[in-house]
């Protein structure tokens, strides 16, 4: 008998670093989420046109289409998802990135982040309690 996945939350991870994408996917999948991966904002934009997501974890600096550009797309085309965006970045010291994060008022995870940090922020954004592993 096939499992009913209609109540499973779906997450899109947008990151061009395969190791980070895999860790995010593994961390979130073990929490019961369905996870898709996009290597850049352009691929993510196409996926957003085909699927509904509850949360989008976006690296600010991805090739082809940056996370900032993808966020602008989400605001204009998928406004309900805008409240489900979490950014990741290795550039929190960069003034432009810091200004962008402050303007969006979205949570972010500075790289490197731990699986527990990811679970905590994702749980807060989704309004669910996720199990943290010590």
pLDDT in tens, 11-23: 999 999 999 999 9
Q: Please count the other Cβ atoms lying within 10 Å of the Cβ belonging to residue 117.
A: 14
Residues in the chain: 134
pLDDT in tens, 39-75: 999 999 999 999 999 999 999 999 999 999 999 999 9
Return the half-sphere exposure (C-beta side, CA atoms, 13 A cut-off) of residue 115. 17
pLDDT in tens, 81-121: 999 999 999 876 678 888 999 999 999 999 999 999 999 99
Domain residue spans in the chain? 10-125
* CATH number at 10-125: 3.40.50.2300
Mean pLDDT, rounded, for 15-42 = 97
- Position 3 scores a pLDDT of 43
Q: Is the model's pLDDT at 6 over the cut of 70?
A: no
- Position 78 scores a pLDDT of 96
- Position 93 scores a pLDDT of 67
**Judging by beta carbons within 10 Å of its beta carbon (0-12, 13-18, 19+), is residue 17 exposed, middle or buried?**
middle
Q: Is the model's pLDDT at 5 over the cut of 80?
A: no
Q: How far apart are the C-alpha atoms of 120 and 104, rounded to whole Å?
A: 20
Q: Is the model's pLDDT at 1 over the cut of 80?
A: no
Q: What is the pTM of this model?
A: 0.92
């Amino acid at each position: 008998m096939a499992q009913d996945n209609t109540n499973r939350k779906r997450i899109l991870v947008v990151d061009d670093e395969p190791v980070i994408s895999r860790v995010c996917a593994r961390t979130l999948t073990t929490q019961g989420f369905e996870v898709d991966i996009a290597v850049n904002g352009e691929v993510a934009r196409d996926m957003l046109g085909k699927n509904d997501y509850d949360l989008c974890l976006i690296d600010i600096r991805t090739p082809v289409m940056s996370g900032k550009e993808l966020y602008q797309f989400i605001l204009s085309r998928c406004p309900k998802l805008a409240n489900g965006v979490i950014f990741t970045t290795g550039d929190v010291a960069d003034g432009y990135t810091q200004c962008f994060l402050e303007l969006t008022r979205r949570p972010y995870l500075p790289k490197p982040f731990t699986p527990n940090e990811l679970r905590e922020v994702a749980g807060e954004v989704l309004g669910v309690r996720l199990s943290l592993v010590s």
